[in-house]
Amino acid sequence: MPYISTLYEFFQRRILSSQPGMWVAIGLLIGISAGIGSLLLYNGIRFFSHLILFGISGFSPPLPGGEGGSPVYSIGSYDRLLIPVSTTLGGFLSGYLVYKLTPGTEGLGINAAVNAFHNLTVRIKNRTPAVKLASSAINIGAGGSAGRDGPVALISAVFGSYLANLFKLDDHDRRIVMASAIGAGIGSIFMAPIGGAIMSTEILYKRDFEVEALIPATVASVVGYAIFGYQFHYNPLFTTAASSFLFLDGRSIFVYTIIGILAGLGGRFYVKVFDLVHIAFIRLRSVPSYVKPAIGGFLVGAVAIFYPQIMGLGYGWVQLILSGNLAYTPLKVLLILFFLKILATSLSIGSGGSGGAFAPSIVTGAFLGASIGIVSHPFLPFVTIDEVTIVTMIAFFAGVSKTPVSMLIMGTEMAGGLDLFLPLMIAITISYFASGIKNSVYHEQVLDRLHSPAHLFEYRNQIMDSIIIGEAMNPNHIEVDINSGVWDLAYTMRIRHVKGAVILKDSRLVGYVSRNMLTKYGKNSKKKLSEIEMMKPVTVLESDTIHRAINILPPDPQENIVVLKSDGSEVVGTLGFTEIADAYEDRFREFKISQMKKGEEY
């Protein structure tokens, strides 16, 4: 015990006392939680897939190469008509767990985590990780079209919130912890630590970054990857012939441009369908919320009778395409699967089922990419089908998630090399803009830091720094000599509707009185201003900003600041709460309008 106490004291004194040490420590702890959470979710999905999907229908989906999958796969015999039983049961159990135990965390887990970042008033319950993990494992394992990213990100975010309470962090640092946790969850579950760390800074916004989260997110993402990746010997998610991905011909730029356009437009369609289905389920007010995922599951299962490729994560089907095994996904089927996978994902998650959007988006993009590759390869043989498939699926998700930079890195990590870096750069950039800035599958994202409550105070200061006191002051002030009568001044102030007056002696500023200060002197008072107590004047220059003024403003709303000329030679006005508020409101309105116009340009 003495050794433990000594170790704890050393930890507190030497590590937590410094900012870098604290963030490294927090990053390590978040990474451990993300890695363990990823392992639990992965094995939970495998368990329920065998128990429910295989146990009821006899269907066993293929696996990606990084998780033990093989390019040789036989779909085997199974009872097609029992697939809807599996998916309906999974949807019902998932919905019942979420809506009964942790309502508000249904659907995409990343949305809940991002919402918690922007609005710290949104607190995530301590039991959420267990419920989200179980409900997602059941939903995905039973055949629901959803991903592992949301649940793991939410699990890490909840643990990050616990750490923030433990270390007694302020609101700013709590948000950094939350962002780091999201990246750790994504980086570990997809065995892409660098991309996951960058995504933690990018996924919060549609066109901005939370750069302060990068260092703790990097530590957390690497640690999470180290724990989760151990089970798979740190192999990338997909097995590819990376040596074939070479930028050999300038004409391939044409293909990547087309890929970017089609991925962006496909992403628009994906988000629109997702939103329409989600709204349709919201309008089913006569149906209990926990039953809706079962309805979504049944509809997915009904479609999967004919096209089982739409169920579950779907990574195994992508692996077969990348391995050149197109027996179950010829061109005609690929085109159909592109639309059906979008519908299945919208039904599984839009109905309130638990899961993430990463896997289904990647698989949807792969179906589109393989279709493009099959059509283009005969004309441009130096651009292979597997190359086009990888570029398209990454560009597709970058567009619908508004995370172009992190997906550029994550794409190379998932493919196992940098050979596709240039093609990815072209296609992702075009897809990001072609998909439209407003179309994101993560509805809790905000446009940029300006539109986030987390940074509202920063932009308030920025606006106040842009307003000169000379623009905001009230020039309609009263100047009186110190030998003037108190009652005469009170009467003048009331007639002219001003709150205070500047007191001069021999044309020199000596004081300031407010109307409240004169109320105790009656109508028949013969006192002069020189005989009463007055406020020592607080002064600013007309060339100063209202940010400086608000820091020295007297607490009484009736007591104003005296504004002097830029050279301090004479009084030119007064400034109080009213003038500052009016000026700020006018400027903030102008700022918001200009930002909205910029957003409409996309």
pLDDT in tens, 484-512: 888 888 888 888 877 788 888 888 888 88
Could you give the CA distance from residue 510 to residue 537 in angstroms, rounded to a whole number? Answer: 7
For the chain, the distance separating the N- and C-terminal CA atoms, rounded to the nearest angstrom, is: 61
Q: Using alpha carbons only, what angle is made at residue 380 by residues 375 and 384, rounded to the nearest 5 degrees?
A: 75
Q: 349, 107 in Cβ contact below 8 A?
A: yes
For residue range 225-280, list pLDDT tens digits in order: 999 988 888 888 888 764 455 555 677 888 999 999 999 999 999 999 999 999 99
Q: Pick the closest to residue 365 from 302, 306, 301, 410 (CA basis).
A: 410
- The length of the chain, given as a count of residues: 602
Residue 123's pLDDT is 52
Q: Is residue 363's pLDDT more than 90?
A: yes
pLDDT at 315 (0 to 100):
94
Report yes or no: 363 and 314 within 8 Å, Cβ to Cβ: yes
Q: Name the CATH code of domain 2-454 (choices 1.10.1240.10, 3.10.150.10, 1.10.1840.10, 1.10.3080.10).
A: 1.10.3080.10
Identify the pLDDT of residue 5.
58
Q: What is the DSSP letter of 537?
A: P
**Residue 500, beta-bridge partner list:** 514
Token pair, residue 7, equals 């170790």
Res. 11: pLDDT tops 60: no
Supply the mean pLDDT for the chain: 84
139: left (phi over 0), alpha (psi -120 to 50) or beta: alpha
Give 98-126 pLDDT, tens digit per residue: 888 877 666 666 877 788 778 764 455 55
Share of the chain above pLDDT 90, in %: 37
Q: Specify the pLDDT at position 555.
A: 73
How far apart are the C-alpha atoms of 214 and 207, rounded to whole Å?
Answer: 16
Look at 266-270, 285-289, 292-296, 506-510 and tell me which has the smallest mean pLDDT.
Answer: 506-510
Separation CA 53–CA 60 (nearest Å)? 7
Other C-beta atoms closer than 10 Å to the C-beta of 248 total 10
Indicate the angle between helix axes 315-322 and 358-376, nearest 10 degrees.
20
The domains of the chain are located at 2-454, 466-585
CATH tag, 466-585:
3.10.580.10
Structure tokens, 410: 């994550």
Cβ density class 165-195: b for 16+ within 10 Å, e for less: eeeebeeebbbbbbbbbbbbbbbbbbbbbbb
Cα distance between residue 507 and residue 178, in whole Å = 59
- Minimal CA–CA distance to 109: which of 71, 50, 158? 158
* Of 48-52, 146-150, 360-364, 588-592, the least confident: 588-592
Q: What is the pLDDT of residue 178?
A: 81
* AA identity, residue 335: L
Pairing relationship of beta strands 479-481 and 500-505 according to DSSP bridges: parallel
Number of helical (H) and strand (E) elements in the chain, helices listed first: 24, 6
Mean pLDDT over residues 81-97, rounded? Answer: 95
Sign of the dihedral through C-alpha 424, 430, 431, 436: positive
- The predicted pLDDT at position 309 comes to 96
Query: What per-residue confidence (pLDDT) applies to 601?
Result: 38
d(CA 579, CA 585) in angstroms, rounded, equals 10
DSSP result, 348-369 = HHHTT--BBSHHHHHHHHHHHH
Phi/psi of residue 246, nearest 5 degrees: -125, 140
Tokens of 413: 């990590």
- What sign results for the dihedral spanned by CA atoms 65, 296, 187, 371? positive
- The yes-or-no verdict on residue 522 having pLDDT over 80 is no
Strands 500-505 and 508-514: antiparallel
Q: Where are the alpha helices (DSSP H) in 233-330?
A: 252-282, 292-304, 315-322
**DSSP type of residue 124:** P
In the numeric block, the tokens 């709460």 are attached to 577
Per-residue pLDDT, averaged over 399-419, amounts to 85
**Predicted pLDDT of residue 119:** 77
Q: What is the pTM of this model?
A: 0.77
Q: Is 271 helix (H, G, I), strand (E, B) or coil?
A: helix
Question: Which residue type is seen at 285?
Answer: R
Q: What is the pLDDT of residue 416?
A: 65
Amino acid of residue 491 = Y
- Is 182:110 a contact under the CB 8 Å cutoff? yes
b (16+ CB within 10 A) / e for 461-486:
eebbeebebbebbbeebbebebebeb
Q: pLDDT grade, residue 539 (50/70/90)?
A: confident
- The confidence score (pLDDT) of residue 362 equals 94
239 residue type, one letter: T
Alpha helices (H) in 49-170, listed in sequence order: 55-57, 83-101, 109-118, 128-141, 149-166
| Region of poorest pLDDT, from 11-25, 212-226, 458-472 | 11-25
Mean pLDDT, residues 431-455 taken together: 88
